[in-house]
A and B are shown apart, each in its own frame.
Chain A
Amino acid sequence: MMSFLQKLFGRLANPSKRKKALLIVSGLCITAGWSINLLGNSAGLFNTLMIMSALVAEVEIARRAWQGLKNRHTNIDLLVTIAATGGIAIGVYWEAAAVTTLFLLGGWLEAQTMGKTRNTLRDLISMAPDTALVVENNKLLELPAGEVKEGMLVLIKPGSQIPVDGIVESGTTTVDESAITGEPIPAEKKPGSDVYAGTINQNGSIRVRARNAGSDTTLAKIIRRVEEAQDEKAPTQRFIEQFAQWYTPGIVGLSIASYLFTRDLELALTLLVIGCPGALVISTPISIISGIGNAAKKGILIKGGEYLENAGKVSAVALDKTGTLTLGKPKLTEFICLQREKVGAGIAEVQQSDDEISVVSASDLERQGWPDEVTELLYWAGIAESTSEHPLAGAILSEMPDSLDLPQADYFKSHTGLGIEAAYKDNQILVGNAKFLKQRAVPIAEDFNGELEQLASLGRTTVLVARNGMLIGGIGLADPVRPEAREMVQKLKDSGIEQVAMLTGDRQSTARAVAAETGIMEIHAGILPEEKNDFIRRMKEKGKQVAMIGDGINDAPALATADIGIAMGAAGTDVAIETADIALMSDKLLNIPESLMVSKMTLRNIRQNIVIALITVAALLGGVFMGSIHMAAGMLIHELSVMIVILNGMRLRML
């Protein structure tokens, strides 16, 4: 018995369960009362049951009213409490029971709706299965997905959902990643590819080395972020809540004053009920929740109402070049070689030739094989780049001929925006841009500069390689522009963005080639991350609302300085999910204008809602004072306005 009571009270401590229990008890009392009333004429029992129903429901309502009063808020709960207590006092038991029970039912439905709004999103991405098939000593073990440890090997069968974040170890397949990236086209996966929990493996069987499981997966992080975002209040919402705080006592004052002047109780009470700012209070949150939910479905993660509002006001956009406008996967295209001595087994004494320049294109290499001077160039660049995480380093290393065995550098230092210095045995290696080599007093011949200019005019990025203070050559890399970049820039302009600028650490001529391809008119090339930051600050000082779009890591300072930082391809990179205000889960560029559009629509929706709410209340109050609107009609119009606001907000989900 004791344990039953303990269990019961334990359950009742949970607000939603308590509300449900009180609602059921109170509803049963009413049903019983009416049944008895229909069966026989027992007014006493009927009234007792109605009083019981009213009191049971009132417990919860009065508690909330009291909580409100303690925080100096007058709320509708207070109104209902007064009504029900008064109803019992004057002997209208059925009305008292009806008002309290229905109010409790309304509250329960509201909680369901809010829960459902969250669930829509949760359902969308909480597809991660509960268990994982772990391969251990050639045996299959079924483990709860949350208990999979980093490094475990997980088997994923065709058609099943991926339970963990990890890297494909063997097998090839396509994976439907729309839950995370919003991208409807399945992504191809091969050994080395990243896969995410909650996505669906389509046609092949793969083995995945687990990286994150349970609440650490990208999926779980997205869910948490979106939930936090929906709770975070937008500036307008904060303002309205403050306004409502003064508004309610204001209406009470107005009602008392009108009674004192006119001695018309009905008028005073009508004012009190009609003046309720329900539509106004709900106007902002309903739009924000709908807007954020809509964006999340498209793979756009907006961190909160505040950012949604700010993004709706953006007038200038700054874009990073590498990885944002371009694919961020550079390919080697040309080699400029300055020396022709043979490398031999690897490290050979190499003599500086008489500034004889040879340019070899990468496509020729495939036909003719690797000449020694190219191998030499790649060898020294490779030693320096092997410890770097820069995308250009990845490109150089991935095209290293298999025959070349790269030793580990003895010393390595990265200079952001410039290049790398490294040492191996007696060799000092510098790999970087022309600015970097000039800083280190490496002489660059006139005709070499000419070659650099020519490559740059083709949109190439050139990495120069120097050894022991002597330039030995350059490696030309091309980073293809994303096919949808031009359309994206046009859409930004069409949506009323006044200024679209490209910020890049790359040289002017490379930037110009990309700008020509994308239709961007303003270029700021050859700048360091701090200078990107300064540029954003200057734009802000000019009164612009600036959005910075980057790929998350090296653009972090500029992303933080901008009014709105948008990170691209954030799935899998924690930094981007954590630092940006808006994170695009896929690499789809068109999601940039899309996210600004959703924000603008939401902002417009909020304004429409506020106007609807204020006009209704003003018109009703005017009507009441002029005597042309009475209680019932006024109430109906008032509630209609709440409905219109709700429907208008929900419209955002359908965009």
Chain B
Amino acid sequence: MKVKKGFRLVLLSNLELQIISYIFGNIVQLAILELDE
């Protein structure tokens, strides 16, 4: 049970957070490039 909880916590919820900021980072970069033009 503990393993299942840990797995959900880390490899899913937090990975999701990491991926969302990765997406956000790329959106910001795209926006800057757009402004740059």
A and B associate: yes
Q: Tell whether A82 is near chain B: CB-to-CB under 8 Å.
A: yes
* Contacting pair B30 A116 (CB below 8 A): yes
* Contacting pair B37 A123 (CB below 8 A): yes
Q: How many residues of B contact A (CB 8 A)?
A: 33
Of B7, B8, B22, B24, most buried by chain A (CB within 10 Å of CB) is B22
User: Given A105-B23, A120-B37, A646-B25, does the pair A80, B32 have CB atoms closer than 8 Å?
Assistant: no
In the complex, per-residue mask of B5-20: 1 if CB is within 8 Å of any chain A CB, else 0: 0111111111111111
Q: Tell whether A431 is near chain B: CB-to-CB under 8 Å.
A: no
* Contacting pair B10 A92 (CB below 8 A): no
Query: B16 — which chain A residues lie within 8 A by C-beta?
Result: 95, 98-99, 102
**Cross-chain contact of A95 among B12, B20, B29 (Cβ < 8 A):** B12
| A90 CA / B10 CA spacing, docked (Å) | 14
| A86 CA / B8 CA spacing, docked (Å) | 9
**Cross-chain contact of B11 among A79, A98, A639, A643 (Cβ < 8 A):** A79
Query: A647 — which chain B residues lie within 8 A by C-beta?
Result: 28, 32
Give chain A nearest CB distance to B33 CB in angstroms. 5
Query: A632 — which chain B residues lie within 8 A by C-beta?
Result: 14, 17
Stretch at the interface among A66-74, A106-114, A171-179, A241-249: A106-114
Query: B17 — which chain A residues lie within 8 A by C-beta?
Result: 632, 635-636, 639
Q: Tell whether A406 is near chain B: CB-to-CB under 8 Å.
A: no
Beta-carbon nearest neighbor of B29 in chain A: A113
Give chain A nearest CB distance to B37 CB in angstroms. 6
| A99 CA / B23 CA spacing, docked (Å) | 12
Query: B24 — which chain A residues lie within 8 A by C-beta?
Result: 639, 643
User: Given A79-B11, A90-B8, A266-B6, does the pair A276, B18 have CB atoms closer than 8 Å?
Assistant: yes
Which applies to chain A's interface (DSSP): helix, strand, loop or mixed? helix
Stretch at the interface among A187-195, A267-275, A619-627: A267-275
Q: Tell whether A43 is near chain B: CB-to-CB under 8 Å.
A: no
Beta-carbon nearest neighbor of A87 in chain B: B12
A-B contact count (CB 8 A): 114
Query: A112 — which chain B residues lie within 8 A by C-beta?
Result: 26, 30
| A148 CA / B26 CA spacing, docked (Å) | 41
Query: B11 — which chain A residues lie within 8 A by C-beta?
Result: 79, 82-83, 86-87, 269
* Contacting pair A116 B33 (CB below 8 A): yes
| A90 CA / B9 CA spacing, docked (Å) | 13
Q: Tell whether A424 is near chain B: CB-to-CB under 8 Å.
A: no
Q: Tell whether A470 is near chain B: CB-to-CB under 8 Å.
A: no
| A83 CA / B37 CA spacing, docked (Å) | 39
**Cross-chain contact of A83 among B3, B15, B25, B30 (Cβ < 8 A):** B15
| A272 CA / B15 CA spacing, docked (Å) | 11
User: Given A113-B26, A120-B36, does the pair A631, B14 have CB atoms closer than 8 Å?
Assistant: yes
Give chain A nearest CB distance to B25 CB in angstroms. 5
| A646 CA / B18 CA spacing, docked (Å) | 15
**Cross-chain contact of A86 among B2, B7, B9, B13 (Cβ < 8 A):** B7
Beta-carbon nearest neighbor of B12 in chain A: A95
**Cross-chain contact of A269 among B10, B19, B30 (Cβ < 8 A):** B10
| A273 CA / B24 CA spacing, docked (Å) | 18
| A90 CA / B37 CA spacing, docked (Å) | 48
Q: Tell whether A436 is near chain B: CB-to-CB under 8 Å.
A: no
* Contacting pair B10 A642 (CB below 8 A): no
Give chain A nearest CB distance to B34 CB in angstroms. 8
* Contacting pair A273 B33 (CB below 8 A): no
| A386 CA / B6 CA spacing, docked (Å) | 85
Beta-carbon nearest neighbor of A108 in chain B: B26
Query: B23 — which chain A residues lie within 8 A by C-beta?
Result: 102, 105-106, 109
Contacts A99-B16, A631-B14, A635-B21 given; 16 further ones with Cβ under 8 A?
A79-B15, A95-B16, A99-B12, A109-B26, A116-B30, A265-B2, A269-B6, A269-B11, A631-B9, A631-B10, A635-B17, A635-B18, A636-B17, A639-B25, A642-B22, A643-B24
A-B contact pairs, 27 of them (CB 8 A): A79-B11, A79-B15, A80-B15, A86-B7, A87-B7, A87-B12, A99-B16, A99-B19, A103-B19, A106-B22, A110-B22, A110-B26, A112-B30, A113-B26, A116-B33, A120-B37, A265-B3, A266-B9, A269-B9, A269-B10, A270-B10, A635-B21, A640-B21, A642-B22, A643-B25, A643-B28, A647-B32
B residues touching A (Cβ–Cβ < 8 Å)?
2-4, 6-30, 32-34, 36-37
Q: Which 7 A-B pairs have the closest CB atoms?
A: A639-B21, A109-B26, A269-B10, A83-B11, A95-B12, A106-B22, A265-B6
A residues touching B (Cβ–Cβ < 8 Å)?
79-80, 82-83, 86-87, 90, 92, 95-96, 98-99, 102-103, 105-106, 109-110, 112-113, 116-117, 120, 123, 265-266, 269-270, 272-273, 276, 278, 631-632, 635-636, 638-640, 642-643, 646-647, 650, 653-654
